[in-house]
Homo-oligomer: A and B are copies of this chain.
C-alpha cells in the first residue's frame, strides 16, 4: 500500500486496522508513518518491525504499540456517531490536505464527505472578537458561501462561530482539536450538531475520547489551512493562535488574507501585521475570490515523493557516531548528513530508530535534536 496516490486506492479492512494501529502507536507521527509504510510496503509489516527499530534506537523500554483490539474499538466507537476513517490515499480525503508532508494518514470524518471535495476557504480569528469583527466574519463567510466556497473553521467562540453560522446553509467544515466525541468548547455541541445536520462536516485526526489539550490546537490549525485554498484572518491580536494558523498556511503555500483594522484597536494588531508581511488586505469576498480563482484552475499538486532511501540495516558504529553528533540543540539534517561521513540513507535510518525510541525531536525547517 503506497501512501502517495491519493484517491486511487481503497484500503481493505485489514489494511485500515493496520494503518490505525501504526499511527496510534507511540512515537509514530504522520511523517514517520509515511517513511515506515513506504519502506516496509504496508502498515502491518511496519508494525512487526517497530519494537526492533525502537530497541536499536536505544529505547529504555519498548513504546506502546496500538493493539488490534484498540483499533477496532476506536473504529466502532466512531461509527456509532457517524465517524468514518478516511485514509490519505483514498477518495474522500480532502485533496489539498493530502498534499501536505504531515497530512494525517487517517482522518476521522463526520457528516457530508462531499463537502471536503469542494473548494474551501478557512475563516479564523479571535475568540474575544469585537462586534464589528463578528459581523464582518459572518458577511464574508456568507458571501464566500454564495460564491460556491465551503467555509472551514475551528468551532471556537468568536470569529470561528460567526463563520460557521453564516455558512451553515452553503456548507461548512469544523476542524476539531480533540476526538469527535470531545467537542471543544462544550457549548458548541449544538452548533456542531447543526453543521452536521445541514450537510456540513467535521474532521479530526485524534482518537475518539481524546480531550483536546493546549498543544493540540496549533497542531489542529495545520488542518484548517490544509483543507483550504486560503485562510482569512478576521481579527487577531499579536501573538494569537490565529497568527500561528496564518504562519502555517503560508508555509503550506496557502494564500493568506487578513482583514485590516484601526491601529488603535489591539484586536487588529495581528491582522495589520500580517498585511505588512504580505498577506492580502481583505475587505470583501471578491478580494479572496480574485486571489484564489487562478489556483482553483490548477490541478492539485501532489507532494514530492518522500521515498528518500532509508537503509534499514545501519552498522552499530554508524549508529553510535550519528547519535554522538546529536544533542539538545537542534541541528540541520543536511549538516548532520555532511558531518556523519556516511550515506544519507544510513543517517535517515538511524534518525527513524531514534524517533521510534522516543529520543528524537523533529523541529520545523529540517532541524532535529535529541530529547
Residues of chain A whose beta carbon lies under 8 Å from any beta carbon of chain B: 132, 135-136, 259-265, 268-269, 272, 275-276, 281-284, 287
Contact = CB atoms under 8 A, between A and B. Distances in A.
Contact of A284 (B135, B262, B263): B263
B264 A135 contact: yes
A56 to B, nearest CB: 53
A49 to B, nearest CB: 53
B268 A260 contact: yes
A281 B287 contact: no
17 contacts: A132-B264, A132-B265, A135-B264, A259-B263, A260-B260, A260-B261, A260-B262, A260-B268, A260-B272, A260-B275, A261-B261, A261-B262, A263-B283, A263-B284, A272-B281, A276-B281, A276-B287
Closest 9 CB pairs of A and B: A260-B260, A263-B283, A132-B264, A275-B281, A272-B283, A132-B262, A261-B262, A276-B281, A260-B272
A236 to B, nearest CB: 13
A175 B192 CA distance: 59
A286 to B, nearest CB: 11
A132 B311 CA distance: 64
A272 B258 CA distance: 12
Contact of A260 (B136, B263, B287): B263
Nearest to A287: B276
A332 to B, nearest CB: 31
A260 B283 CA distance: 11
A284 B238 CA distance: 15
A132 B263 CA distance: 9
Given A275-B275, A276-B287, A287-B276, A281 B264 contact: no
Contacts of A262: 132, 136, 259-262, 265, 268
A273 to B, nearest CB: 8
A265 B262 CA distance: 10
A264 B282 CA distance: 12
Contacts of A276: 281, 283, 287
Contacts of A283: 263, 269, 272, 276
A156 B179 CA distance: 60
Nearest to A282: B263
A276 B259 CA distance: 12
A264 B136 CA distance: 7
A136 B263 CA distance: 8
Given A259-B262, A276-B283, 15 more contacts: A132-B262, A132-B264, A132-B265, A135-B264, A136-B264, A260-B262, A260-B275, A261-B262, A262-B262, A262-B265, A263-B284, A272-B281, A275-B281, A276-B281, A276-B287
Contacts of A136: 262-264
The residue among A135, A272, A275, A287 with the most chain B CB atoms within 10 A of its own CB is A272
A130 B252 CA distance: 39
A159 to B, nearest CB: 14
A295 B259 CA distance: 30
Contacts of A281: 260, 272, 275-276, 281
A258 to B, nearest CB: 9
A293 to B, nearest CB: 16
A259 B261 CA distance: 9
A261 B275 CA distance: 12
A126 B265 CA distance: 19
The residue among A135, A283, A284 with the most chain B CB atoms within 10 A of its own CB is A283
